[in-house]
Structure 1
Amino acid sequence: MKAFDWQLQKNGYIPMSGQIVDASLVSAPKQRNTEVEKEAIKAGKTGREIWPNEPNKAAQKDMDARWTLKMGGKIRYRSDGTSLPQIALPVFGYKSHIAVDRRFGFIRESALTSAVQADGRMLPRLVTTGNTSSGVWADSAYRSQKNETGLALRMLVSRIHRRKPAGKPMPHNIVRANAAKSAIRAHVEHVFAHQKNRFGLFIRTIGIARAMAKLILANIAYNFDRLVFHQRA
């Protein structure tokens, strides 16, 4: 990934205009485990420890993927400021974290975690100071005092969405500011849509190391497609 990015920069595609960060769930084959086995997996036990007499079964169990709930649709609020119920979809697998540059749309940084990993914790891992612009765009899941302080210490400017005040309507100025940020941040969604719809991205390997290798290949493939797009433009 780094070598490919170096070649991009060598040919003039340097990170420009800021960086956009986001994450998306990537499904994996569902595991059929008992409650006792699930607790053992959460406790960090290996497959050989859980199934000592069934080595073949242990070898086919993914011990790194996790279940999580994917909240669907845009959050909508009642007139009193309370949120309406959302649809929760169970998903088993991993979470792909990426940072793209705003100017060219190439994936510059990436990471893979289990599906339960909080998005905001990955921000320091994804943002860099190698972009010609200091702006960082992300949704409200990345907004925290720790992340805001970390960006400021690295001389980066936060363009992260602000959260709605608890129990109160969203102020109109924040609504407008978030809408302006969304127009830019939405470009990162095209990456995930491209990988899932055109590539059919699905983790069929076992273990996070192999899953990461597959994700890196998918990211490089996307960057190749993006490069072809720019070359033809």
Structure 2
Amino acid sequence: MGQPGFFDLDEHYQRLSENGDPLVKLAALIDFEAFRPKLATALKRSDGSKGGRPPYDPVLMFKVLILQTLYTLSDDATEFQIRDRLSFMRFLGLGFEDAVPDAKTVWLFREQLTRAGAIEDLFAAFDTWLKGKGYLAMSGQIIDASIIAAPRQRNTDAEKAALREGKIPDEWAVKPKKLAQKDRDARWTLKRAKARAAKADGTKAKVEIAVPVFGYKTHVSIDRKYGFVRRFTVTSAAAHDGAQLANVLDPANTASDVWADTAYRSKANEAHLAKHGRRSKIHFRRQPGLDLTPSQRKANRARSKVRSGVETVFAAQKHRFGLFVRTIGLARARTKIGLANLAYNLKRFLWIETRLVAA
């Protein structure tokens, strides 16, 4: 068997395109160069005159992180898949003769972005690019939060108490290696879920249960018109949803309506919305000992139909992207979740543009 030539490779690429390689459309529709200024600012790269191996192109490395997020890859798996898959190589603009970033390089690049706090700027850069394409935040916004699980920490009660007080447990302080492997920012919380419980007559009824979960929480605001994530923040899983409304409220949305569930219903949030010219579409909450009025129940049903649109974001990230925080600390979790929000917007843009062409 002879060595594959240029035309053999070209034929492989052509067949990949004919079979619907999604990365071809992604590369064609997204101007990844729009991220270069923010990447350059964050990385503060030199011109290479100091010697040593020149760094990989920052846009190429950023695209590597996008691939990693879209396909749920570890750093080692990312290196392997780039070497193994022609579709990845073409997306990154790499040839067989080009060097491929190894797992350590991928980790270091992501770590540089984390230390620079760059994910918010990169996310905002794409939002600006979207608006330049005519995708303004319109028709109001939907706010919600979702828990993103992390590896459970096996801590003693004393260690948990110290962490809640913002302290480092004494045993960890004298063991730097152990301390480096402990996530001091993630927290436990209870997640409400539905289950079917057996009744005495043998039938099953839906009951509400509380499931303990350890990790972080992503808070987002999406625009109702297009469904893009416009603002986000990341906290521990124990943070209250309603306390983050002001942090994710998008002032650029052209409409005043704001939808959210009952966790966001408070006098402080209602006052904040009114102060900023926003109209509350937050679900009504039943007061202790009182039922909702018929008009409130009717309003909640109507609001649920709109508010449910935000679940598309969380479903895509958890099921398609397999979002799970395996890093340590809030800063790294913010980068991880921020990349997932950005990757979701990239895929959302691709989906909308494809539908427009088909129509």
Is the TM value for this pair above 0.5?
yes
Aligned with residue 56 of structure 1, among 177, 190, 201: 177
1:1-233 alignment, distance < 5 Å: 1-46=123-168, 49-73=170-194, 86-233=208-355
* Contact 1:26-1:202 at 8 Å conserved across structures: yes
Taking the aligned partners of 1:85 and 1:41, their CA distance within structure 2 comes to: 33
Residue by residue over 1:70-98, the C-alpha shift from the partner in whole angstroms, topping out at 9 and shown as x without a partner, is 11139xxxxxxxxx973010000001000
Query: What TM-score, normalized by structure 1, do the two folds share?
Result: 0.92
Greater gyration radius: 2
Q: What SS does structure 2 have at the residue aligned with 1:184? A: helix
How many pairs align? 223
Provide structure 2 residue ranges, at least 5 long, that are not aligned to the other structure. 1-122, 196-205
Q: Is the 8 A contact 1:40 1:50 kept in 2?
A: no
Q: Give how far 1:201 is off.
A: 0.4
Partner residue, 2:53? none
Once the two structures are superposed, residues 115-134 of structure 1 have per-residue CA deviations (whole angstroms, 9 ceiling, x without a partner) of 11111110011112211100
Distance in 2, Cα, partners of 1:133 & 1:215: 27
Larger RCO (CA under 8 A, 6+ residues apart): 1
Residue 206 of structure 1 and its aligned partner are, at CA, apart by 0.2
Distance of 1:223 and 1:134 partners within structure 2: 22
RMSD: 1.4
For the residue of structure 1 that corresponds to 2:286, the secondary structure is: coil
Q: 3-state SS of the aligned residue for 1:96?
A: strand
Task: Output one character per residue of 1:46-87: Cα deviation in whole Å (capped at 9) or x when no partner.
Answer: 36x54133211110000000001111139xxxxxxxxx9730
* Structure 1 Cα separation of the partners of residues 354 and 312 of structure 2: 19
SS at match of 1:97: strand
Q: Which residue of 2 aligns with 1:77?
A: none
TM-score where L is the length of structure 2: 0.60
Once residues 311 and 142 of structure 2 are traced to their aligned partners in structure 1, the CA distance between those partners, rounded to angstroms, is 10
Instruction: Tell me by how many angstroms 1:164 deviates.
Output: 1.3
Give the SS at the match of 2:188.
Answer: strand
Greater strand proportion: 1
